[in-house]
Amino acid sequence: MGGNEALEGLIPIHLHLRKLADRANLRITTLSDTHPIYSLLSADYIKRAEVHHCSVSNMAPALQDKVHGTIMEIENHHHELTEIFEPCTLENCLGFRLMDRFVAQVSFNNFKIIMENKALSVSNRKIELDALIDELKEEEYTAYYGTDASLPANVQHQAASAYLIY
């Protein structure tokens, strides 16, 4: 199994699960300061939540060593996060978002293949996109992104997503 994972470019499943668990443990910092999970943590991490009677801060140190689970994982790994997250920051409010401030500079170019003339529409689309990219390359301070999230009609194939940033 390990050889197949290496050939396919996949990380081993135990490492992937560890990565997902670590991300879940650190995701608590994106919650509001009064979220109920904070009430179960120790006094160092409780923020503005009210202390729950079963919280880590009310446990004896000997009991903390015996208890395992998500709350204890969060407690043990919370100090590793050095970034500050503010879920209700001013930049997250209406009027400060990218599309609120630069709506004239952002454009979306959607495309759906017409099944009757699939080959013709795809080749026309390629010509159209190449012309658009050539036009954008001429502008000095322009960033342009392209993404495709295709979902095949055939159930034997898997969905794929790709993007380019210039």
pLDDT in tens, the chain (166 residues): 556 555 566 788 888 898 888 888 778 877 888 888 888 888 888 888 888 888 888 888 888 888 888 888 888 887 787 777 776 777 777 888 878 888 888 877 776 666 566 666 777 878 888 888 888 888 888 888 877 777 777 777 777 777 777 7
Does 101 reside within a domain? no
Does 99 reside within a domain? no
CA 68 to chain CA centroid, Å, is 27
21 and 55 in a single domain? The answer is yes
The H-assigned helical ranges of the chain are: 2-8, 13-26, 61-66, 70-77, 98-101, 118-137
The tally of domains found in the chain comes to: 2
Q: CB–CB of 34/20 below 8 Å? A: no
What pLDDT is recorded for position 113?
61
Terminal-to-terminal C-alpha distance of the chain: 38
What global pTM score does this model have? 0.46
33 and 70 in a single domain? The answer is yes
Q: CB–CB of 41/54 below 8 Å? A: no
85 and 13 in a single domain? The answer is yes
- Tens-place pLDDT, residues 99-140: 888 888 887 777 666 656 666 677 787 888 888 888 888 888
Structural domain containing residue 145: 107-165
Does 54 reside within a domain? yes
